Structure 1
Amino acid sequence: MNFPVFKEGATIGVTAPSSGVPSALHDLVKLSCSRLQSRGFDVVCGETVWMQEKAKSAPAQVRANEFNAMMNNDAIDMIIPPWSGELLIEILEYIDFEQLPSKWILGYSDVSALLLAVTLKTGLATAHGTNLVDLRGEYSDETTAMWQVVLSTKTGESVLQHSSPKYQKEWKHAAPSPCIYHLTEPTYWKTVSGAKTNLQGRLLGGCIDIIRHLTGIPFGDVRHFQKHFIHQDPIVWYLENCELSTTDLRRSLVQMKLAGWFEHCSGILLGRSSANRPVEGYTAEDVYQELAEELRLPIVYDIDCGHVPPQMTFINGAYAEIEVDEGKGTVKQVFKP
């Protein structure tokens, strides 16, 4: 595994490999850039950031070219897209995976297809966490703010994160918060077993709506990754559901299982979701119970990951030690080569 080096005063490249930002919301990007600059970063925005038409910032080749250029620009130290979108998968065939230098890429949701593909194909660690526009607040909550601490971890070192005290149940755009999120509900991590749970392994994951589409294609070769980059260490999957009904969630998990993604796996973490809509009384908890019984693996759910903020920063390829007890969780990530 190759873990990028985070630099103080880094230059952040902002490109939109999925959706760009419509003109009515350009101020969100500008404010986010200004906040980062006030904290000592330089920020360079690509042209795709300011564009959006037909569910994407630009044609796939244009998006890929800008991403490749920023990755290979020595003056840019890391990449943070403005936010996610719908059609990032279109650019994967145009990414120059063989020439990617060691730089952090940070994001989530649709961007998780890029993150997971990069890590699986190259052994370069990538960061699943906050996007750019959610860094526009006067300050960040303690969970979100850990992105910089996590990315500053050096190879061979470790970093510890704790479950959030509270999470956001709903957006209140009419009453903006100085830290962006309205954290009102007590966080409670749960286990299918109901008991204290410990698990260890290499982290892989993302938004299940998105990364399920990597199964069976060259960008989702988990077996190759296990053999060539992590010395056959077990995998801990972290997954979050953006929009799937419980039946679609079940279909997606079964697809991943049949594709071999859960072979040599030591456990699964599932993020909070507002999309877990029951179908004829079939709930997300039913899905988790069935999966735990089929795989005979510990499953933890309602963790700080995904579209119900705040979320931890998970590093694809890091070795993690996770402990969950009485609703609280800790995630220790070791940047193990």
Structure 2
Amino acid sequence: MRIPEFLKENGTIGFVAPSYGCNIEPYKSAFDHAQDILKQRGYRLLSGPNCYEGKGIGISNEPKLCGAELNDFFAKKDVDVILSCGGGELMCEVLDHVAFEQIASEEPKWYMGFSDNTNMTFLLTTLCDTASVYGPCAPAFGMEPWYASVEDAMLLLEGKKHIFTGYPKWEKESKKDEEHPLEPYYLTQDRILVKVPDQDSKMRGRILGGCLDCLGKLVGTGYDKVKEFNQKYAKDGIIWYFEACDLNVMDIRRTLWQLDHAGWFEQAKGFLVGRPLCFGEELFGLNQYDAVTGVLSKYHVPIIMDLDIGHIPPMMPMINGVLADVTVQENDIQIAYQF
């Protein structure tokens, strides 16, 4: 597994928009302010041509132009890490214009983003054998003040922190809007982990996963190289993590069934599941927990749910491809990445 170099003092952060750009509020002001903060932190910044665009369908611009931006920034010698400007809807259409073989032949760089960015973070690892970060997009760094999870993501990119734990509370309703673009997380709900089986656990393996909305669409395409990845790292095993955006509980169950039947989980050492946006939903007697365990319990490995992963803040940075020791004790989790 190729581990990129961490962000050095006075290094350069590159911004790209292969999914949504920051062309509307509150994202534009938050992205502007994020750049001010990161400059104060001592970093040089370079923005791609699509960062403030909104011409595309579900993405910032035409797929070909979004792909060109990614290829350019991975090739730039003066860009150290790459942050995505946001998630979106149709980043999958950009993939045909991404030069994955070229990216795999160049010096690796950290790429960070979440949601629709699964299309890049997941494939960087499974196609290019390069570690990537499923973490906050660029506008999150514009909040005032930074919450611990945002600071954690930056400390990770800087190589100053490699052990992460959950956060005490989560956000049910955001106060961030067009008139309050720099609003921090509004954390009101206590984190309560759901464990199956209901006991503490330890697991070790390579972390891999992302947003289920995107992962399910990759199955059976030319970008689905998970079986090969599983074989390569069979000795280590895989600790899978998931979360969901637009999927309801039935969609979650169907998508996990699909990944299961595609053979993705053959080397599973455990499953880490974030709170879905449909949190608390129940359809025909199926809730968010049974949607997961009904498919995955047959593997007889720990399943930990309602974790700080993904769309419902705050979110722990998840590093695809890296070997990690995961400890779940009482109502908290610790992920210790081994670089």
Alignment counterpart, residue 308 of structure 1, candidates 301, 309, 312: 312
* Match in the other structure for 2:329: 325
Alignment TM-score, normalising by the size of structure 1:
0.93
Between the aligned partners of 2:288 and 2:29, the Cα distance in structure 1 is 37
1:325: how far off? 2.0
Equivalence for 2:21 = 20
Q: Secondary structure at the match of 2:283?
A: coil
Does structure 2 conserve the Cα–Cα contact (< 8 Å) formed by 1:79 and 1:103?
yes
Matched, 1:84 2:77: no
Alpha-carbon deviation of 1:179? 6.5
For 2:32, the equivalent position in structure 1 comes to 30
Match of 2:256 among 247, 253, 256: 253
Is the 1:146–1:313 contact (alpha carbons within 8 Å) kept by the matching residues of 2? yes
Give the Cα–Cα distance (whole angstroms) in 2 for the partners of residues 144 and 50 of structure 1.
22
Q: Please, which of 150, 158, 166 is the counterpart of residue 152 of structure 1?
A: 158
CA RMSD of aligned residues (A): 1.9
For the 8 Å contact 2:29–2:182, the answer to whether it is kept is no
Give the secondary-structure state (helix, strand or coil) at the position aligned to 1:269: strand
- Which residue identity lines up with residue 260 of structure 1 in the other structure? G
Is 2:10 the counterpart of 1:9?
Answer: yes
Structure 1 position 59, deviation (Å): 0.9
Does structure 2 retain, via aligned residues, the 8 Å contact 1:35–1:138? no
Distance 1:274 1:23 in 2: 22
Are residue 273 (structure 1) and residue 276 (structure 2) matched?
A: yes
Structure-2 separation of matches of 1:106 and 1:166: 23
8 Å contact from structure 1 (residues 55, 86) kept in 2: yes
Name the residue aligned to 2:246. Answer: 243
Shift of 1:219: 1.7
Q: Map 1:211-222; keep pairs closer than 5 Å.
A: 211-222=215-226
Return the match for 1:136 from 132, 136, 142.
Answer: 142
Name the counterpart of 1:172: 175
Per mean C-alpha deviation after superposition, the further-off stretch among 61-70 and 285-294 is 285-294
The alpha-carbon deviation at position 246 of structure 1 amounts to 0.8
Task: List 4+ stretches of structure 1 deviating above 6 A.
Answer: none
Note the C-alpha offset of 1:279.
Answer: 0.9
In structure 2, what is the Cα distance between the partners aligned to 1:67 and 1:314?
21
- Unpaired runs of 5+ in structure 1? none
- Between 1:71-80 and 1:283-292, the stretch displaced more is 283-292
Query: In the TM superposition, what whole-angstrom CA distance separates every residue of 1:150-184 from its partner, at most 9, and x where no partner exists?
Result: 23349xxx821111011111111369597621122
Aligned partners of 2:259 and 2:125: how far apart in 1?
A: 17
Spell out, residue by residue over 1:210-248, the C-alpha distance to the aligned partner (whole angstroms, 9 max, x if none): 1111111232211212334x3642000010011211111
Higher alpha-carbon deviation: 324-333 or 282-291: 282-291
Distance 1:70 1:28 in 2: 22
Partner of 2:195: 191
Given that residues 226 and 232 in structure 1 are in contact (C-alpha distance below 8 angstroms), is that contact kept between their aligned partners in structure 2? no
Q: Distance in 2 between matches of 1:74 and 1:56?
A: 26
- SS, match of residue 92 in structure 2: helix
Match of 2:48 in 1: 46
**TM-score (norm: length of structure 2):** 0.92
SS of the residue 2:14 aligns to: strand
For the residues of structure 2 that align with 1:173 and 1:152, how far apart are their CA atoms?
27
Structure 1, residues 111-163: CA drift from partner, whole Å, max 9, x if none?
A: 01111011101111001111100110233212221112223349xxx821111
Comparing 53-62 and 166-175, the one that deviates more: 166-175
C-alpha distance in structure 1 between counterparts of 2:159 and 2:323, whole Å: 13
Alpha-carbon spacing, 1:142–1:260, altered in 2? closer, same or farther (3 Å): same
Which amino acid letter does the alignment assign opposite residue 66 of structure 1?
Answer: E
Aligned residues: 331
Please tell me whether the aligned partners of residues 31 and 141 of structure 2 are also in contact (alpha carbons under 8 angstroms).
no
Deviates more, 1:281-290 or 1:199-208: 281-290
Alignment-derived partner of residue 68 in structure 2: 65
| Percent identical | 30
Distance (whole Å) between structure 2 residues aligned to residue 187 and residue 177 of structure 1: 25
